[in-house]
Amino acid sequence: MVRVRTEEKREQIVGIASQLFQELGYERTSMALISERLGGSKATLYGYFRSKEELLQSVLVYDVTSEADRLMNQFLSGENLRDGLITLGQAYMHRRLSPGPITNVRIVATQPEDSTIGKEFYENVLGPAWERLANRIQILMDAGILIRADSWIAAMQWKGMCEWDMFERRLLNAIKEPPSDEIRRAAIAAADAFLKLYGADEQAEKAKPDASRAAKPKPKARKKKA
């Protein structure tokens, strides 16, 4: 009898693996434990993922790609550019500091030096997710809402202004929960500083984040350093 693989089942496996990685850590989580939690056979699990490393890669991809769409929608839902940036900043930091993403960063950071998981994760998933924000900023620059500059640098400056030292504190367990008040203050300060740096004029903060959607140019890939 031929087993039919489904996307729903695949997502269920990824979700269970992510939970176990958070509960037990990557090293202590075995494929046997995952299949036991799944309630199926090892054969079913291996029919979807050939190894725990391959499963980890899917956990990383799913976490970022599913959230990237949600976060961009948060940005575009703002009444104006300032509100969009504040909403995006808060959503990004709450997600950034939540258990799943923190666990994933810890796992990737502790892989052997010769492992390619981290490099592939950044180049294929995390980097392109940030490119989406850089491309949106470029659209706003092309529309005259923001001054012309390097949109990638602008995106990374906004990211840093949102994070303060909260990521390091959370990663090192200096804090256990995302500090909501601090996240909001950081998001507001980041939005105001970003618009002061890049706002074309006083109208910039009144512009809708998706104001130039109709004139969206074809995104250009950022050149990677050799």
Residues forming a β-bridge with 146: 199
204 DSSP assignment: G
Coil, strand, or helix at residue 216?
coil
Query: Which residues, 6+ apart, have CB-to-CB distance to 60 below 8 Å?
Result: 104, 108, 117, 121, 125
pLDDT at site 4: 58
Q: How far apart are the first and last CA of the chain?
A: 50
* CA 171 and chain centroid, separation: 16
> Based on the domain organization, do 84 and 179 belong to the same domain?
yes
Q: In terms of domains, do 40 and 78 share one?
A: no
For CA atoms 210, 211, 214, 219, give the dihedral sign: negative
Query: Looking at residue 222, what is its pLDDT?
Result: 55
Q: What band does 212 get if pLDDT is binned at 50, 70 and 90?
A: very low
Which structural domain, as residue segments, surrounds residue 34? 1-50
pLDDT for 202: 65
Q: Is the pLDDT of residue 198 over 60?
A: yes
Q: What are phi and psi of 98, to 5 degrees?
A: -75, 160
pLDDT of residue 158: 97
As a whole number, mean pLDDT of residues 14-40 equals: 92
Residues 124 and 165 in one domain: yes
| pLDDT score for 93 | 96
Structural domain includes residue 225: no
Contacts of 104 (CB under 8 A, 6+ apart): 21, 59, 60, 63
User: Regarding predicted confidence, which is higher, 190 or 219?
Assistant: 190
How many structural domains are present in the chain? 2
Q: With 90 as the cut, is the pLDDT of residue 224 above it?
A: no
Give a yes or no: residue 118 inside a domain.
yes
Query: Is residue 223 over pLDDT 90?
Result: no
Phi first, then psi: give them for residue 68, nearest 5 degrees: -60, -45
CATH of the domain at 34: 1.10.10.60
Based on the fold, state whether residues 44 and 80 are members of the same structural domain: no
Q: If you average pLDDT over every residue of the chain, what do you get?
A: 87
pLDDT band at 220 (very low <50, low <70, confident <90, very high): low
18 touches 100 (CB < 8 A): yes
90 touches 189 (CB < 8 A): no
pLDDT in tens, 149-165: 999 999 999 999 999 99
- What is the four-CA torsion angle of 31, 24, 172, 87, rounded to 10 degrees? 80
| Average pLDDT for 35-50 | 89
Residue listed under structure tokens 């969206």:
216
Given 11, 28, 50, the domain boundary residue is 50
CATH code: domain of residue 124: 1.10.357.10
Per-residue pLDDT, averaged over 184-190, amounts to 97
Q: Answer whether 49's CB lies under 8 Å from 35's CB.
A: no
pLDDT, residue 208, reads 66
Q: Which of 1-5, 79-83, 134-138, 212-216 has the lowest mean pLDDT?
A: 212-216
The residues with which 90 forms a beta bridge, in sequence order, are none
Helices (H) and strands (E) in the chain, counts: 11, 0
pLDDT of residue 161: 97
106 contacts 171 by C-beta, under 8 angstroms: yes
Provide the whole-model pTM. 0.80
For 162, residues 6+ apart whose C-beta sits below 8 A from its C-beta are 89, 92, 93, 186, 187, 190
Which pLDDT does position 41 carry in this prediction?
81
pLDDT of residue 204: 63
